[in-house]
Amino acid sequence: KQEVTQIPAALSVPEGENLVLNCSFTDSAIYNLQWFRQDPGKGLTSLLLIQSSQREQTSGRLNASLDKSSGRSTLYIAASQPGDSATYLCAVRPRLGGAQKLVFGQGTRLTINP
């Protein structure tokens, strides 16, 4: 059974710092991995999607990497801003199990202090 773990559970940094969020998964048989952002009481916004054949994806100040063999992904946020404060979730789409179900980590709650 696929399990996804995110470390740390919470992170607080001063504005302007670069930071890394970590995600690990137990089964390397995945189609893809996604990083999402969730604001309090809101739904999810997709940030980056990395296919299993890819190593990284970039969007603006965000860069996500994927090392499928070791079961790890990182989300790098450059020059953090207070507006980046949110919970960040990673999710994998397993190859087994059918459909397009996603398995989520528990998220990292990020606070950027002005």
Partner 1 sequence: GAVVSQHPSWVICKSGTSVKIECRSLDFQATTMFWYRQFPKQSLMLMATSNEGSKATYEQGVEKDKFLINHASLTLSTLTVTSAHPEDSSFYICSANSGLAGSDTQYFGPGTRLTVL
Residues at the interface with partner 1 (CB under 8 A)? 31-32, 34, 36, 41-46, 49, 51, 89, 91, 93, 99-107
**Smallest separation (angstroms) from partner 1 to the CB of 16:** 27
Of 71 and 105, CB closest to partner 1 = 105
Of 89 and 110, CB closest to partner 1 = 89
Give per-residue burial for 92-104: e unless 16+ CB within 10 Å, then b. bbbeeeeeeebbe
Of 15 and 27, CB closest to partner 1 = 27
**Smallest separation (angstroms) from partner 1 to the CB of 104:** 4
Q: Which residues contact 75 (CB under 8 A, 6 or more apart)?
A: 20, 21, 23, 35, 47, 48, 62, 63, 64, 88, 90
**Smallest separation (angstroms) from partner 1 to the CB of 106:** 4
